[in-house]
Structure 1
Amino acid sequence: MQVTETLSDGLKRELKVVIPADELAGRLDTYLEDLKSKVRIKGFRPGKVPAAHLKRLYGRQAMAEIVSNMLNETTTKAVEDRSERPALQPEVDLSDDDAQKVLEGEIDLTYTMTYEVLPEIEIGKFDDIEIERPIVEISDEGVMEQVEQIAESNRPFEAKTGKTPKAEDGDRVTMSYVGKIDGVPFDGGADENGQLVLGSGRFIPGFEEQLVGVKKGEEKVVTVSFPEDYQAEHLAGKEATFDVTVKEIEAPGELKVDDEFAKGLGLESLDKLKEIVRGQIEGQFGQATRQKVKRQLLDKLDERFDFALPEKLVENEFENIWRQVENDMARSGKSFADEDTNEEATKADYRKIAERRVRLGLVLSEIGEKNEIQVTDEELQRAMYEQVRQYPGQEQQVFDYFKKTPAALAGLRAPIYEDKVVDYLLELAKVTDKVVTKEDLLKADEEDEDAAEKA
């Protein structure tokens, strides 16, 4: 094999590779010799088929297989011999005409391979990175507030008594209803025994208010408009009517938050319920804090590192992002004008996001490699089980999918690896805690939701 560099421009490389025709012919002879002892051809004893006859029958097919193997072997070896790390699999250029002549054994196998190498990244130290970690101190009052919300959702109700009791705010109405748009029932708009606490804000805006004052057995047509941002796009912004029949009206009963209430939830005491609620709050705030801290760290890494990026990696990342953008816009029915922008400007913004993602991915990968950070089999298995749990009844199919699809398995490994590298960096960085209110922490999360996608 003869390899000649024809281009070295930044991260771009182009090599010309030549494999002599006689080397291919030698491989073909070996292939056919091996085939002779295996093939069964009428009129010939096993192992006695003439080489010329085998070549006439199987030569072209065998050569195609040999050439395919040679392309894989030689592209890999050419890169290894140069001690380079391709960003993606090298692209091979071999014309159809030349390929046909190679298969016939008329010419050398000559092709061009192009690829981009990964940039050299000087990692340096990270003990000068300063991170402010927002934390929320969980008070007993905050825990009790959550407990009372749980209790409210489990409040007992009792049938209203009297001659003709009417529904009031706080009452629970049991009803059947059928929703219609332009007189035609729509999917998901009907229920035979729906329950609604008036004033809870659970139904479409304006629905509950129209039930105040209804009586048991009463039939009523409720007219409302779905919000413009309603999650079901075929209903968003449309006016609908609901044919309602009131089956029962119940008044809220007395609510006691005590040990007996906790036992009704399957717990031994109110203190145990508080303990569980505190843990849930800590988990919720912990995730929000983690997201905020990780965002700060990635921002600082993005500011610190500036190097040439493999164009193909950026283009692939941009195409993935842009495909999602187009899908989201198609689902929402919105245009660029609706967002007060245009396609060109939006593409420029998302290309910057793609560049950031590629840059940070390369930096985190380099840090992890230099510090021998690895994802264990146990961690990968745990992530796989979490995915499997989301598909009850299809567990085996999901397992088989991951086993047969390396890209899917890599997709599970990547976020675990990234988080482990982030944890490693946070151990080196100067992290100081700052006490904030839960409103500030969660509000910050909402404000950063779009920006976090850049990570």
Structure 2
Amino acid sequence: MESLDVSVENLGNLKLKLTISVPKEVVKDTYEKCYRNLKSKVSVNGFRKGRVPQSVMEKRFERHMKQEALEELVPQNFDKAIKQENLKPAGQPKFSDLEVNKRKPLKFSATFEIWPDFELPAAAAFELEKKEISISDEEKEVKKKEHLEKKITYALKDGQAEDADQVLMDFSVELEGEENANEKDFEYVLGSKQFLPEVEEALVGMTAGEEKEFEVSLPEGHQEEKLRGKQAQFTVKVKEVRAKELPALDEKFFESYGEEVNSEEDFNKLLEKEITDAKEQQDKVEYRAKLKEQLVKQLDFEMPADVLAEEVKFKLKQLEQRPKEEGKEAGSEGISDEEKEKAEKDAAEHLRLAVYFQKMLEKDEISVDENEVRQRFMMNAKMLGMDPNELIQQEYGKQFYQETHQMVIEDTVLDYLTEQVLNQ
């Protein structure tokens, strides 16, 4: 690939000015392409569509053709120039001297900020205390109970309904004389807190075949505005009372876990692994947090002024949105000087960390698991109640994916650094 004629001027404060010369042959070829694209789209009196001479087109549509030529030549050759000079812009460039003539080379300028060059702190500059993982009998019992609770069954019982029992019932609810709900054969576990406390209290002590009517005051904070503070009349008929039964640790129970569990010993190993994995993940989170705290103190290099200003502006805008999110008018509460100062500090810390993570990622032994990025994005999308495939098509979704990618970069680098620090 033929190289461009590029001159680089250092303007100081992490700002560069490139002067880029594009050969006239390239300019002419771009004009020819613009002509071919345009001639089939426009009509000129006296000529058939698609047969308008180029000289006529250039005269009639001079401004349009120049603009189209610049829109192709400038970004294309700017990208080629920064790759040629091995430069990494920190923000959007500002172009100048944008005068194009198909008979002359195009010479234009681009001014932009760059990221700073700095020495990466060595692993010895960080301190972490390695945590040893131990598992208590109590933790095993808690984890075992979690597994057993997922496989509980209910069996008919005589007597009164108690906490943790399941009742099979018909019930209806009336509000101001009108029926609001009517359910048949409804299964409800006492203590699950799906109903109001007053309803649960009324159900406790009931027996199979018993009917009861009672009144409940709906809370002022009810999610449905029309129901707030209203009196609700409940009519309940309990058909069955069932007691909770935990599964036995038998062959049928072990089979539900697949091939990895064939005995109580295997089951206990599974419990220990789950506890260990959870503790290792928690330790990872704590290691990352401690390393970030230390990094913030160690990274003090200069940041590009314009990029930093944009980041501060973004954080201040987030602060301005708080009243709106709290149901107040935007701007009803101003931003204090302390908050502005914190926004500036947070913006600088955020950018320095981002630059550090990116530079660390350039090391040969560190790479981002793109599958992890996709899995996190899908999980987060589902937590938002959205289809990941539909979300990624939206502008917000694309930004969300980039944020997820950045989070995985951060975790990847911090986990790598954790290993280096703990093993030094």
TM-score by length of 2: 0.70
Unaligned runs of 5+ in 1: 433-455
1:47-80 Cα shifts (integer Å, max 9, x gaps): 9964422323444332111122333245446656
> 2:275 aligns to what?
281
Note if 1:383 corresponds to 2:362. no
Greater shift, 283-292 or 23-32, is seen at 23-32
Partner SS state of residue 123, structure 2 = coil
Deviation at 1:296, TM superposition (A): 0.7
- Report the AA paired with residue 162 of structure 2: E
Q: What is the CA–CA distance in structure 2 between the aligned matches of 1:84 and 1:330, rounded to whole Å?
A: 41
Number of equivalenced pairs = 401
> 1:418 aligns to what?
410
* Residue of 89, 92, 95 corresponding to 2:95: 92
Are the equivalent residues in 2 in contact too, given 1:12–1:116 (CA < 8 A)?
yes
* Residue of 359, 366, 372 corresponding to 2:352: 359
Q: What is the CA–CA distance in structure 1 between the aligned matches of 2:317 and 2:173, rounded to whole Å?
A: 35
Q: What is the CA–CA distance in structure 1 between the aligned matches of 2:249 and 2:26, rounded to whole Å?
A: 87
Deviation at 1:91, TM superposition (A): 2.8
> 2:253 aligns to what?
262
> 2:114 aligns to what?
117
Partner SS state of residue 216, structure 2 = strand
Deviation at 1:297, TM superposition (A): 1.0
Are the equivalent residues in 1 in contact too, given 2:165–2:244 (CA < 8 A)?
no
Q: What is the CA–CA distance in structure 1 between the aligned matches of 2:156 and 2:150, rounded to whole Å?
A: 17
* Residue of 136, 139, 142 corresponding to 1:142: 139
Q: What is the CA–CA distance in structure 2 between the aligned matches of 1:132 and 1:57, rounded to whole Å?
A: 74
Q: What is the CA–CA distance in structure 2 between the aligned matches of 1:207 and 1:318, rounded to whole Å?
A: 51
Q: What is the CA–CA distance in structure 1 between the aligned matches of 2:174 and 2:74, rounded to whole Å?
A: 63
- Aligned-residue CA RMSD (Å): 5.1
**Which residues of 2 match residues 299-378 of structure 1 at below 5 A?**
299-318=293-312, 321=315, 330-333=324-327, 343-344=335-336, 345-369=338-362, 371-373=363-365, 375=367
Alpha-carbon distance change, 181 to 9 in structure 1, aligned in 2, over 3 angstroms = farther
Note if 1:126 corresponds to 2:123. yes
Greater shift, 169-178 or 117-126, is seen at 169-178
Deviation at 1:182, TM superposition (A): 9.3
**Which residues of 2 match residues 174-323 of structure 1 at below 5 A?**
174-175=168-169, 194-201=186-193, 203-205=195-197, 207-214=199-206, 216-223=210-217, 225=219, 239=229, 243=234, 245-253=236-244, 255=246, 257-259=248-250, 262-263=253-254, 265=256, 268-318=262-312, 321=315
Are the equivalent residues in 2 in contact too, given 1:36–1:49 (CA < 8 A)?
no
> 2:27 aligns to what?
27
Deviation at 1:421, TM superposition (A): 2.1
Partner SS state of residue 360, structure 1 = helix
Deviation at 1:139, TM superposition (A): 2.8
Deviation at 1:380, TM superposition (A): 1.5
Are the equivalent residues in 1 in contact too, given 2:360–2:413 (CA < 8 A)?
yes
Deviation at 1:16, TM superposition (A): 8.5
> 1:439 aligns to what?
none
- Report the AA paired with residue 72 of structure 1: P
Q: What is the CA–CA distance in structure 1 between the aligned matches of 2:213 and 2:392, rounded to whole Å?
A: 53
Deviation at 1:362, TM superposition (A): 0.9
> 2:74 aligns to what?
71
Partner SS state of residue 128, structure 2 = strand
Q: What is the CA–CA distance in structure 1 between the aligned matches of 2:240 and 2:196, rounded to whole Å?
A: 20
Q: What is the CA–CA distance in structure 2 between the aligned matches of 1:177 and 1:327, rounded to whole Å?
A: 45
Are the equivalent residues in 2 in contact too, given 1:156–1:254 (CA < 8 A)?
yes
- Report the AA paired with residue 374 of structure 2: M
Deviation at 1:126, TM superposition (A): 1.6
Alpha-carbon distance change, 16 to 288 in structure 1, aligned in 2, over 3 angstroms = closer
Choose between structure 1 and 2 for higher RCO, CA contacts under 8 A separated by at least 6 residues.
1
Identity of aligned residues (%): 21
Q: What is the CA–CA distance in structure 2 between the aligned matches of 1:155 and 1:30, rounded to whole Å?
A: 73
Deviation at 1:141, TM superposition (A): 3.8
Deviation at 1:27, TM superposition (A): 2.9
Greater shift, 63-72 or 242-251, is seen at 242-251
Alpha-carbon distance change, 89 to 254 in structure 1, aligned in 2, over 3 angstroms = closer
Greater shift, 301-310 or 125-134, is seen at 125-134
Deviation at 1:87, TM superposition (A): 0.8
- Report the AA paired with residue 421 of structure 2: A
Q: What is the CA–CA distance in structure 1 between the aligned matches of 2:27 and 2:7, rounded to whole Å?
A: 20
1:314-361 Cα shifts (integer Å, max 9, x gaps): 34445555566666764554899xxxx963244443443332221111
Are the equivalent residues in 1 in contact too, given 2:34–2:68 (CA < 8 A)?
no
Deviation at 1:254, TM superposition (A): 5.0
Note if 1:62 corresponds to 2:65. yes
Unaligned runs of 5+ in 2: none
Q: What is the CA–CA distance in structure 1 between the aligned matches of 2:264 and 2:118, rounded to whole Å?
A: 56
